Structure 1
Amino acid sequence: MSELATTALGDTVAFDLRGTGPAIVFVAGAGPYRAVDPTTTETAELAARRGVRTAVPDRLGRGESAAAGRIDLARELAALRAVIDAAGGSAVLVGHSSGCAIALAAAAAGLPVTGLVLFEAPFTLPGAQVRAWIGEFERLLDAGDLDGALAQYMRDMPPEWLDGARRDPSYRQIVDGVVSYRADGEALVWTGSAPWARLLRPIAAPVLTLVGAETFPGMAEAAAAVAAAAPRGDTGVVAGRNHIWDAAAMAELLVEFTLGSAR
């Protein structure tokens, strides 16, 4: 049964909590939630058997974390803080895709983050291009054109991803969930608002940037740039392809990183 927590802004966030020990909280990117993301659930289960506590939430506006109105970055960070508190008061954040930007923003904002693991952060565009991309996405979102907003958000992703979503029987549900991407967009704009060294200066926790063994052009370079700019940064490769990690390999790495950060 899902755990529930109320955020400081009054939202209710649902999550799974497993294991005991230093905490890991997973931060999904645009789209995924527990019911459609078995890889993260498997990773959390494997890691929880090895001396850590794992929390896998549904982002606001997805799955069991129902939310109405403007779901912005402030609400998402409040939800993340509520999950961290429920997991023990501090945690390693594991960001996936645009969830990496949210995880970084959380650490920079002073949430109790003991470490950051960022898998395939999409930090491949200059800040001006990110602002233009997300600006048009938000314009379509505010106009109520959710189909257009989804297409705009996925503009630079492999075209078969959007084609596959449109053929999915749950396409309308996918489209309705695009309102939850606003927080991703705001976080991505923040990542392009200043040089990495300035953005990451407040983050004292160790930062590990990862890509899959079979990744997209530019991802490894972006990971290396973030790691180089972080006060305590490192980068690496984990088994994975098509923007998805291998659960067993990722669980092993996360346990080692989290237990090491807790010492």
Structure 2
Amino acid sequence: MDTTTSADGTTIAYESYGDGPAVVVVNGALSTAADAAGLAQALVDAGFRGIAYDRRARGASGDARGSTPEREAEDLAAVIHAVGGATAVLGHSSGAVLALYAASRGVATGALFLSEPPLRFGIDEPADDLAERLQRCVDEGRPDDAIVTFQLEGVGLPEQMVEAFRASDQFASVVPLAQSTVYDTNLVQVSSVPSPEMLSVHGPVTILRGEQTFPILLTAADRLAEELAGAELVIVPESVMHRPDPAATVRVVAERLA
């Protein structure tokens, strides 16, 4: 992986695939650049350069503790600068929130493709002290509790689903990402009711969602498309239950960047 340095000195690692106009993929919660490899390869197949990066406190990237959403926007800006500029940014889940937030703060994202951003618009928001409690879990050496609490309260997954995940072999792979749950919580809380700046970003914005996904994400995508000036809503049937289908998602990107 290559690295760049964010404004606060944090090292951000990224992977570049292929050649052509650069599209930066911004992943969601509890994921790393490796999880974006499918999207990045689909971008390559469509003639783009796919860029996937480890958001701070994940994978090979560093972490300046006490990070804020502003710092994460600076991280994205650093990656875009390192690859010579971006034609577009493709964000999924909290990564879509980050992409929109960064664009509203002047980051040169190019066209925005926002896949199922988990915005609540002030309805059934998590408790105000969630990030503080998650940080306490991490500081006390209980990263697994941070993951579970985040999934239950921050994401709103059913308890049975969370407990099944905790008992699975996959759970161990996300425990090292526990600190990032604090940052995702802060990011979504700051942006859950989009600011006027977020609702008036410059440049084309495409909002994507599946037909079958969590109800909160259906509502969020549809409402954001209604409120964000000039945004287009595209339903991607192949993307199911908050998992973006790489080929179908990139097909939407390629058609709009043609």
TM-score range normalised by the length of the shorter chain? 0.7 to 0.9
What is the deviation of 1:154? 1.0
Q: Write the deviation string for residues 185-212 of structure 1: whole angstroms up to 9, x where unpaired.
A: 222112234xx47243440121111112
Change (3 A) 1:65 1:164: farther
User: Separation in 1 of the partners of 2:205 and 2:59?
Assistant: 29
What is the deviation of 1:173? 5.0
Q: How does 1:199-214 map to 2 (within 5 A)?
A: 199-214=197-212
- TM-score, length-scaled by structure 2: 0.86
How many residues are matched? 251
1:28 is aligned to 27
CA contact (8 A) 1:134 1:185 kept: no
2:107 is aligned to 111
- TM-score, length-scaled by structure 1: 0.85
What is the deviation of 1:169? 3.9
Q: Structure 1 stretches of 5 or more lacking a match?
A: none
User: Separation in 1 of the partners of 2:67 and 2:191?
Assistant: 19
Q: How does 1:21-100 map to 2 (within 5 A)?
A: 21-35=20-34, 37=35, 40-100=36-96
User: Separation in 2 of the partners of 1:135 and 1:5?
Assistant: 32
SS at match of 1:178: helix
1:177 is aligned to 177
Q: Structure 2 stretches of 5 or more lacking a match?
A: none
2:167 is aligned to 167
Q: How does 1:180-195 map to 2 (within 5 A)?
A: 180-193=180-193
- Alpha-carbon RMSD across the aligned residues, in angstroms, is 2.3
CA contact (8 A) 1:13 1:64 kept: yes
Change (3 A) 1:137 1:164: farther
Structure with higher RCO (Cα < 8 A, 6+ apart)? 1
SS at match of 1:182: helix
What is the deviation of 1:172? 4.8
1:22 maps to a residue whose letter is P
What is the deviation of 1:25? 0.8
Partner residue of 2:218 out of 217, 220, 224: 220
1:138 is aligned to 132
User: Separation in 2 of the partners of 1:198 and 1:3?
Assistant: 35
CA contact (8 A) 2:12 2:53 kept: yes
CA contact (8 A) 1:134 1:153 kept: no
User: Separation in 2 of the partners of 1:126 and 1:201?
Assistant: 12
Name the structure where strand makes up a greater proportion of residues.
1
1:232 is aligned to 230
CA contact (8 A) 1:197 1:229 kept: no
